[in-house]
Amino acid sequence: MIDIKFLRENPEVVKENIRKKFQDKKLPMVDEVIEYDEKARAAKAEADALRAKRNSLSKQIGGLMKEGKRDEAEAVKAEVAEGAKRLAELEAQEKEYNEKVLERMMLIPNIIDPSVPIGEDDSKNVEIEKFGDPVVPDFEIPYHTDIMAKFDGVDFEAAGRVAGNGFYYLMGDIARLHSGVISYARDFMIDRGFTYVVPPFMIRSAVVDGVMSFAEMDAMRYKIEGEDLYLIGTSEHSMIGKFKDEILDEEKLPYTYTSYSPCFRKEKGAHGIEERGVYRIHQFEKQEMIVVCKPEDAMKWYDVLWKNTVDLFRSMDIPVRTLECCSGDLADLKVKSCDVEAWSPRQKKYFEVGSCSNLGDAQARRLKIRVRGEGGKKYFANTLNNTVVAPPRMLIAFLENNLCEDGSVRIPEVLRPYMGGIEKIVPKH
């Protein structure tokens, strides 16, 4: 959510930003916000004047009663009563207009960074840089679920009976590899100075509204029936919610956290055949990183965050690239975002394994996360997040890039302490 003062003073800038995001249907909202905001402020000004007049008249009533001027006092009381009716009308109007303003402001996209490429959808995303040499071996690489099946490592049939489509059992060496990657990612981030956190896995609606754009909500969130609680789609949601309604001391910034959680997503919509298996599922685990910082430090931390993910994957011998998200592919709260994609030697192309985002002060503004700066001046913090690793999807890249011709899978040196020291896992079939 952008600053309404900025919108008032720069309506054309806001409209041009909407055009750059190819959301022209939202253009009328800018003028509607200005109209309802003016009406709300006018109602407030008249209400404030009536309150001041009421206070003055109330003092007069007391004086008149002391002087025995009962009739005059009753006349003033009648004037106060009449003003009270009008005041109630104005307060209702102010509330109504402010609600209309907020409703639209929650839908108007954040101002994107000037460096963001302009494009309508993800087909216009721009490759930034490649890390590591992509290799295609001279033997056939099976689909990832077929690799897992050789290890008796996955069971979709039983999961379907227990929970339905989009769930799975990971077992044996594959399950151990999954947990090993999570543990390694945790220690990797701790070694880089981030504080490890296990957050709540459910959040209230006020936090949901603060951390997500409306377009994301329906496609992602699971609600707990009969309670004001939702399962998190990523630990970023509860981690940013941790600071809701707080005033932070500037000298304590930045807050740098790495958080573990299970994640739950509806994943609505049609997906291609390459997104079956454990690629796009309703439940998975993830190691995340989030930063809460001063606005002037946000872009510096943005670069730190995506580089952490690149370094993690390269430490496991997985080639990756970074891809700049274009304007039409950015969620409404984001200022700038890039994807980290891992090489798939089976598909002979890269696929997404993480996403790094700078959200500016959009989440902080919605959740009222402020910073007390020099001289006591308060301003909104900036928030950023990035995937360290999400093993189900990351396992695809890991298995394909470390698969040997005999069907065994190499364990990179950095992972061996988390796998009992073994150098490879051997299929059962």
- Side by side, the strands of the sheet bearing 370-372 are 247-249, 370-372, 378-380
Residue given tokens 């510096």 in the structure block: 300
List Cβ neighbours of 57 (8 Å cut-off, separation of 6 or more).
76, 79, 80, 83
Q: How many residues does the chain have?
A: 429
DSSP state of 345: T
Residue type, 339: D
Interatomic CA distance for residues 237 and 233, integer angstroms:
7
In the CATH scheme, what is the code of domain 122-425?
3.30.930.10
CATH 1.10.287.40 residue window(s) in the chain: 4-105
| Ranges of the chain with pLDDT below 50 | 270, 273
Neighbour count for residue 27 (Cβ, 10 Å): 15
Q: What is the pLDDT of residues 185-242, one digit of tens each?
A: 999 999 999 999 999 999 999 999 999 876 666 666 889 999 999 999 999 999 999 9
pLDDT attached to residue 270:
47
Neighbour count for residue 193 (Cβ, 10 Å): 9
Neighbour count for residue 426 (Cβ, 10 Å): 13
Burial of 208 (0-12, 13-18, 19+ CB in 10 A): buried
pLDDT attached to residue 353:
94
Fold of the CATH domain 4-105 = Helix Hairpins (1.10.287)
Interatomic CA distance for residues 186 and 260, integer angstroms:
8
Is 237:275 a contact under the CB 8 Å cutoff? no
Q: Is the pTM of this model over 0.85?
A: yes
pLDDT attached to residue 390:
92
Interatomic CA distance for residues 134 and 44, integer angstroms:
63
Neighbour count for residue 126 (Cβ, 10 Å): 13
DSSP state of 403: B
CATH 3.30.930.10 residue window(s) in the chain: 122-425
Interatomic CA distance for residues 105 and 99, integer angstroms:
10
